[in-house]
Amino acid sequence: MDLAIFDLDNTLLAGDSDYQWGEFLIDIGVVERAAHASINDQFYADYKVGKLDINAFLEFQLKPLSQHPRAQLDAWHREFMQQKIAPMMTEKSRALVEQHRANGDLLVIITATNSFVTGPIATAFGIANLIGTVPEEMNGEFTGKVTGTPSFQQGKITRLNEWLAERGQGLSDFGTTWFYSDSHNDLPLMKLVDKPIAVNPDPILLAYAEDHAWPIMSLR
């Protein structure tokens, strides 16, 4: 059996779910544009150039989850899926997932975006295994804090190894390991797998992929 690992934002999705969740909250009036948008934009810019302070970002991004009941958040998320996510799920992305599924591969999405935002997206792709940053819960409600290691940069390796260990497996147990990503932030994990694939890569990843003769593809 092979292991097919997919990054989510700007890889399987033609956009960033974390960023769009912030925009959605602005659109429906949950947070004020003046107070939220410029900070959200700056964090996104930092991410793209590899300078994101993940802890500061998570404190900012998870705060709205702690300010509203879970039932209300879930209702908003259903709207979010229809308005923001569905248009970003391309036919090429779906076809790639189905290709690996047809091959009998183990499928997993690994993303720095929190699992509240990304869980229903993984389900929409038919992928049962999700490794995302885990927002802390208490009595079924979010606290605004993080549980465990954020799955970002080197943290993706940590979280993947933890997940595999829970299954009694390691990367070496698979015939071939694949990882699809758009971002140079994922280079630590891309360097570990057998088949790193640069998907609509950012300029830094594009240059690295070209230098190392990695496959480059588009899902747009």
Amino acid at 92: K
Q: Which residue has the tokens 């793209």?
A: 48
**Strands ordered across the beta sheet of 106-114:** 141-147, 129-138, 106-114, 3-6, 177-181, 195-199, 216-217
The residues that are catalytic are 7, 9
CA distance 136 to 93: 30
| Secondary structure of residue 150 in the 3-state scheme | coil
Written as one letter, the residue type at 143 is T
3-state secondary structure of 35: helix
**Amino acid, single-letter form, for residue 154:** Q
